[in-house]
Amino acid sequence: VLIPRPALDELARRLNSLGDGLRVAWVDCDVDPVDLVRAGSAAFGFSGVYQTPEGRALAGLGTAWLATASGSDRFRRLADRLTELPEGTEAMIGFAFSPDGPTGEEWSGYPTSAAVVPQISIRRAEGRSRLVAAVAPGSSEGMLLSVLGTLRRPGEPAPHRGSDHRLRSLPRPDEWRDRVAEAVAAIRAGSASKVVLARAVDLETGSPIDAFDLVGRLRSTYPAARVFGWSTGSRSFVGATPEML
């Protein structure tokens, strides 16, 4: 099993001792954050994980509390909502660069900014892991802990072996080379000091790709990067980046 029964029993005892409102309790428990989302993402509507090269990580399943906001004051409004939470409660936060939200069909279902307190989460820091449960007002922890008791520790992420796939570069490689040459010429001419270029590669495949297996592979392949995954419904946003998130 992924989560030992004694840890779940202690969580149940601590949750039962709390009063009304959002109930949050935790126990020390050695669980890999990426293993948590790999094992449980299919059973929950929301899954998320973030891990730094130093090993600090937060992973979560399900939604016990949610706040969203858009517009130029979205961060202030989110901050105001976060004050509703019990002291010490951690939320996972994601947001678009634009205050009016992401555009494009691929971002359908993603709000402009969101703060999520997962129903179950693993927080890892300084070599220690903490299992946290959050139960919404009026809800029972019984079903949540029962589902957690069925999770099994996943094996190593298997490489994707789908052969029926198609790649499409945006822009095309020849257009990309031309843009890079234009940027270099502009810098040499003194008309630009810094240029940020980006391109996309779309992959279409008939074989399923597990988002958090992919996160696990990114973590092992790029140990110096920050890896992340945010999945809601059938859509997932995953990646590995050297930049701070």
Q: What is the pLDDT of residues 97-110, one digit of tens each?
A: 889 888 888 888 88
| pLDDT (mean) for 211-230 | 95
| pLDDT (mean) for 191-203 | 88
Average pLDDT of the chain, as a whole number: 93
Residues 6+ apart with CB under 8 A from 71: 77, 99, 100, 112
- Predicted confidence band at 95 (pLDDT cuts at 50, 70, 90)? very high
CA distance 182 to 63: 47
- Predicted confidence band at 232 (pLDDT cuts at 50, 70, 90)? very high
Specify the pLDDT at position 103: 80
Q: Is pLDDT at 47 greater than 70 in this prediction? A: yes
pTM: 0.88
pLDDT tens for each residue of 131-189: 999 999 999 999 999 999 999 999 988 776 766 788 899 899 999 999 999 999 999 99
pLDDT tens for each residue of 112-144: 999 999 999 999 999 899 999 999 999 999 999
